[in-house]
Amino acid sequence: MTTYKNCRIPFVVANWKINKLQGQVFDYLEKVNQQVPDSSVVETGIAAQDIFLADMVRETENSPIHVVAENVHWQDAGAYTGETSPRALADLGVTYVLIGHFERRKFFNETDATVNLKVMAALRNGLKPIVDIDEDMSVYTQSMEAQPAVAQVAAALAGVSVDQIRNVTIAYEPTWAIGSGEAASAQQAQKAAQLIRQTLAQLYSPSIAEKIRILYGGSVDINNAAQIMGQADIDGVLVGRAALDPEQFLSLVAIAQQTSSSQPAD
């Protein structure tokens, strides 16, 4: 476990949602751009509204920070007013895209089927999907197959090839923890991540599953991040509220760096 964890580069992703204005975007990037480590140490990403992505790509040109879209459509082009094409995102220089965030599923009727279409569209266009799994896994005593989260992982990844899966990151975000101020315990998060990794092992192979990053999201802050990221199967965090503040984002990145250089907890 230790060996494999060490070969997965930790990943810290801020999810700004729709909380920033243009001036704040520039201020934030100016504060963090040169302060994050190289991507070979900790990868960093910021997910923002589409209207800011072009500015962000330009502003992060000389920074290791990856620009992340919060959503994408599944068609490359066509008559889909108001949607964003994965081809256009890739062309712009966006690297990652969040797919199937709980808020998309809850407020915008995203389903496992549309999540899967979007994952395929992202991969087809060279974008790296961060696929959200929001099913609660706190009831852990059921058989693995009975877990809705297992079905959600399988549905999101249907048709994703062995070559493509290497470009996928999974984010486990229990619905009750998002924005609530009440994060899952490090043990709960680890159990869920372990179950997701077992599912990936069944869908692909154990050795491929060991190479795929699994993030935890839901009320992560500078007080709980070290414990959460210290878990054997957790390779980073997806952070909303705490990461709205550039200083806290940098602290979370520093915590990721520290935990990756120490032994993961079992």
> Is position 218 an interface residue for ligand PGA (rule: CB under 6 A)?
yes
| Three-state secondary-structure class, residue 70 | coil
* Six token digits for residue 256: 């990721």
Kind and range of the H or E run holding 6: helix 2-7
Identify any residues that bridge with 142 across adjacent strands, giving them in sequence order.
Answer: none
Among 15, 71, 188, 190, binds ligand PGA (CB under 6 A): 15
211 or 241, CB closer to ligand PGA? 241
> Is position 188 an interface residue for ligand PGA (rule: CB under 6 A)?
no
Among 100, 240, 246, 264, binds ligand PGA (CB under 6 A): 240
* Six token digits for residue 197: 């990794």
Q: Which stretch binds ligand PGA (CB under 6 A): 30-38, 89-97, 205-213, 234-242?
A: 234-242
23 closest CA partner among 62, 61, 55 = 55
Which 155-174 residues touch ligand PGA, going by CB under 6 A?
173
| Shortest distance, position 65 Cβ to ligand PGA, whole Å | 17
> Is position 260 an interface residue for ligand PGA (rule: CB under 6 A)?
no
Indicate the residue whose CB is closest to ligand PGA: 240
Kind and range of the H or E run holding 127: none
> Is position 110 an interface residue for ligand PGA (rule: CB under 6 A)?
no
15 or 147, CB closer to ligand PGA? 15
Among 48, 121, 220, 228, binds ligand PGA (CB under 6 A): 220
The Cα–Cα gap between 178 and 164 comes to: 28
Task: Look up residue 205 and give its amino acid.
Answer: S
Among 165, 225, 238, 250, binds ligand PGA (CB under 6 A): 238
> Is position 71 an interface residue for ligand PGA (rule: CB under 6 A)?
no
* Contact of 16 with 50, CB cutoff 8 Å: no
88 or 254, CB closer to ligand PGA? 254
The Cα–Cα gap between 44 and 65 comes to: 5
Task: Look up residue 133 and give its amino acid.
Answer: I
Report the catalytic residues: 101, 173
The Cα–Cα gap between 164 and 126 comes to: 10
* Six token digits for residue 98: 């969040």
What residues line the site for ligand PGA (CB under 6 A)?
15, 173, 178-179, 217-220, 238-242
